[in-house]
């Protein structure tokens, strides 16, 4: 799943049950980013978007499938980290009071895109897209598996040996 989150300058998402922002330009940008893909969200967030464009459910993070987008305002994400393919962060350089913060560790992701646009309630909104880093498979340094030979066993010179051709 792909998550979309609005955060302030200190990664705040919610304060006393109230969202950080209701910026119309941010919501339009998110719907444009979704294209034809389904946008999952909580019943708390549903009134912000046209009903025909969203799927609201309390357990929307559980229901969302690979490639589907979830707009998250009101819940932690750390427990869902393994399922998150990408994160779309909308933020501005203001810091509001917050008692719910983005708890997703982004070190497993890499920033792939950054853009800025004018918002309705914020002079500048920054959209950043983070995609999960591709992990290189670990090489097994033990040549003991069946059917494998060391370079020495195969007749190749060891790496530190000098080879002469003549």
The per-residue pLDDT for 144 is 53
The per-residue pLDDT for 95 is 84
Partners of residue 155 on adjacent β-strands: none
How far from chain centre, in Å, is Cα 27?
18
The per-residue pLDDT for 143 is 54
What is the b/e burial string over 1-40, where b = at least 16 CB atoms within 10 angstroms of the residue's CB?
bbbbbbbbeebbbbeeeebbbebeebbebbbeebeeeebb
Closest CA to 107 of 136, 87, 79, 127: 87
The per-residue pLDDT for 38 is 87
Q: The pTM is what?
A: 0.79
CATH code assigned to 2-132 = 3.40.430.10
Cα angle, residue 84 at apex, residues 121 and 7 outer, rounded to 5°:
20
C-alpha–C-alpha distance, residues 50 and 28, integer Å = 10
Indicate the domain borders of the chain: 2-132
Q: What is the mean pLDDT of each run of 10 residues along the chain (166 residues)?
A: 94 88 92 94 95 96 96 94 97 86 94 95 93 77 52 44 38
The per-residue pLDDT for 138 is 66
The per-residue pLDDT for 134 is 84
């Amino acid at each position: 799943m792909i998550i979309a989150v609005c955060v302030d300058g200190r990664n705040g998402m919610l304060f006393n049950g109230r969202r950080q922002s209701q910026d119309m330009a941010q919501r339009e940008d998110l719907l444009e980013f979704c294209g034809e893909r389904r946008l999952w969200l909580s019943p708390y967030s549903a009134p912000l978007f046209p009903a025909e464009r969203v799927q609201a459910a309390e357990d929307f993070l559980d229901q969302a499938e690979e490639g589907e987008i979830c707009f998250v305002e009101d819940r932690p994400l750390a427990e869902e980290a393994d399922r998150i393919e990408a994160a779309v962060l909308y933020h501005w350089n203001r810091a509001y009071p917050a008692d719910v913060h983005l708890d997703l560790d982004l070190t497993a992701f890499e920033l792939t895109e950054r853009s800025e646009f004018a918002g309705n309630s914020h002079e500048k909104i920054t959209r950043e897209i983070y995609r999960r880093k591709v992990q290189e498979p670990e090489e097994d340094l033990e040549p003991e598996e069946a059917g494998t030979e060391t370079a020495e066993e195969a007749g190749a010179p060891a790496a530190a040996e000098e080879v002469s051709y003549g």
